[in-house]
Structures are given as structure tokens and as C-alpha cells.
Amino acid sequence: MYKVLIVGAGNIASEYDDATSTVFLTHAHAFVNHPHFELIGFVDPDIIKGINASSKWGTRHFTNLDQAFKYYSNIDIVCIAVPDDLHFNVLQQVANYRPKLVFTEKPLTNTLEQAHIIERLYRELHIPVLINFKRAFIPEILDVINSVKRNDFGEFKNCYGFYNRGFKHNASHLLDLIIRFTGCKELKLMNVIDSISDFSIDDPSHSFVASTDNNAVVVIKSFSGESYPIFELDLHYSSGRIRLFNTGEKLEIYRVQPSSAFSGVNFLQPKDCIDTSLHQSMLHAANNIFEYLSMGKPLRVPIADGIEVMKLTEQVLKDIKNKSCLN
């Protein structure tokens, strides 16, 4: 059994579900349920959060990392589920204890510079890092990405993404998916639509239009998360369309086919609507960790993927800032 410690005892660590849920939305639920892991505790300086989580999941509460690693010297996996701006510090602290693997929440860090520091540190210590871009663990989504890579959908033409509640916080998920679905790792900013602070003033939600190397157009639009959370991606290719909606619970597949009404005219026709196992994402991630450690299978979201997202994030933010200065 691999011993797991969760740092942070809030929503995604403990609170979004419970042991009776059929969904796996928390780190705790996945590791408590998995036969090859033992959840040995939570670290949280907030005593109430820590006690609530540890009693809910039948484990221990520690107020800091030192306490946890003094109690158990052989902790294999550390999950990091603290607020975004603490990822960098906590990743640095956790490395001192040399676990076998670190599973960290997104975004990897606040800046690309910090991400490079973490990447170097963990590479030198030979500690693998897995990042929780949850849609990259979902078999139904991966199947469609593989189909795109086999060129089943033809050439990428354009995409429209909706998100809210922070560019780094949530659009990082969109950027990760755009890289996976298109292979495009750079964007050229064409227009800024607007920017709103619906998550934090340090991480506004930007809306913009950009283009790729192949002149495909990428439109990313946000609107206030106060109305409702949104996460959608609509990708058009020369011979089909992929629409991911309901935050990724559903995938619609369209193919270009001859119209039944207009002779000689091709239309996009809906072909398939897939219910994904998005809400089992934590279980898929735990399985990926188990298969990596025990069978040497690849990590689905290694640190290199997190760095690519950080590069794209900083590039877009820099271009938005430059464009705003010009206007």
C-alpha cells in the first residue's frame, strides 16, 4: 500500500463529496477508495478544516508537514490542494521530504519563472510531479484526442472556449485542452475583448481573440462567474467538429457529410454524443499514479505539460498587457 498525505483540507481535498458518493471529486475519496493506497492524513494549519476532513475520512490531522513526516517517515505520495498562490511555496517545502511522487493542483505555480524553479528542483531530486488537469485523465476525452492525432478530423480551423473565475485559475484548463486537441503551443494575440475580476484582482478573467501558426482562430470568452460557472470548448476541423460542454461531462462529435436535403452540399452532421466519466477524474488520476509507480506506465499530466500551459498563459498575459498599454 502506498501512503498518501494531502496538504490542504478544503473543497477539492475533502469537501466536494463523501465516502458514499458515486462521484470522485476529492483527493480523499479517490485514495480512501483505491485498494493500493492508504490515506494517512491531511496537513492544514486551519485546525477546524483539518479536524473536519480527518474525521470525515477516518484519518489524522497535522498542522504542518514536519509533524506529518515525523509521524510517518515513509510517506510515498503528497497531494497539494492549497490555494493557487501557495503552490510554489508548498511544492518547494514538500521536495525536502523526498516523496515518491507529488500530485499537485493546477495551476502549477503563479509564474513561469516559478514553474521552471520547481521543474529544476524536482528533476534534480528525481521526484515526478503529476498535475491535476482533470480532463486529461478521462478515457473518453483521451480517445477523441487520439482520434484527432490520427488525423480523423482533418486540419484544425478554429475554436471557441468559454470559462470564468480567473485566467490562471480556470483558463489554464482550457489552454491545456487546446494544446492537447490542436498541438498548438503558441498563440498570437489579435484582439482583447474584455477583462473582468470575477475570481481575484490578481487573476482577472480575460477574453480575447488569437491565432495559431497555421492561421486557425482561437476565441476565448469569459463572463462573470457570479451568474454560473462555465467551461466549454468547441473545436472545428476541416472534416468535423468536437464540442466539449457541461464542463466536460459531455462531448458532441460532428462529421462533415453529404446533406440529405441539398444535393452536392456537405454539412456538419451530429454523429455522437458521449457522456464522459469526468466526475470519476480523481479515481482515474489515482489509477494513473498506481500504474506509474507499480508498472512504469507514463504519467498523464507530467510537469512538462504544466510548463507548456504556464508558457502559453504568460505569453497571452504579456501580449494582453502590451496591447492594453498601446490603447
Ligand X SMILES: NC(=O)c1ccc[n+]([C@@H]2O[C@H](COP(=O)([O-])OP(=O)(O)OC[C@H]3O[C@@H](n4cnc5c(N)ncnc54)[C@H](O)[C@@H]3O)[C@@H](O)[C@H]2O)c1
Return the closest-CA partner of residue 99 out of 118, 75, 81, 122. 75
Site for ligand X in 91-130 (CB under 6 A): 105-106
Three-state secondary structure call for residue 24: coil
DSSP three-state, residue 46: coil
Q: Does residue 81 belong to the site contacting ligand X (CB under 6 A)?
A: yes
Window of 75-83, 146-154, 194-202, 311-319 that interacts with ligand X by CB under 6 A: 75-83
Please give the order of strands across the beta sheet that includes 266-275.
Answer: 188-200, 203-211, 217-222, 156-163, 231-237, 240-245, 250-258, 266-275
Nearer to ligand X, 51 or 209 (CB): 51
Segment 168-207, which members bind ligand X (CB under 6 A)?
A: 169
Distance CA 133, CA 301 (A): 7
Report the distance separating Cα 221 and Cα 223, nearest Å: 7
Segment interacting with ligand X (CB under 6 A) among 81-89, 143-151, 182-190, 215-223: 81-89
Q: What is the DSSP string of 280-311?
A: GHHHHHHHHHHHHHHH-PPPSSBHHHHHHHHH
Least Å from the CB of residue 86 to ligand X: 5
Number of residues that bind ligand X (CB under 6 A): 23
Enumerate residues 23-62 that contact ligand X by CB under 6 A.
Answer: 43-46, 49
- Among residues 4, 97, 135, the alpha carbon closest in space to that of 13 is found at 4
Q: Which of 134, 243, 279, 284 binds ligand X (CB under 6 A)?
A: 134
Shortest distance (Å) from residue 51 CB to ligand X: 11
* CB 305, min distance to ligand X, A: 13
Nearest distance from C-beta of residue 232 to ligand X, angstroms = 15
Written as one letter, the residue type at 309 is V
**Position among 52, 132, 222, 280 found at the interface with ligand X (CB under 6 A):** 132
Of the candidate residues 83, 139, 229, 270, the single one contacting ligand X (CB under 6 A): 83
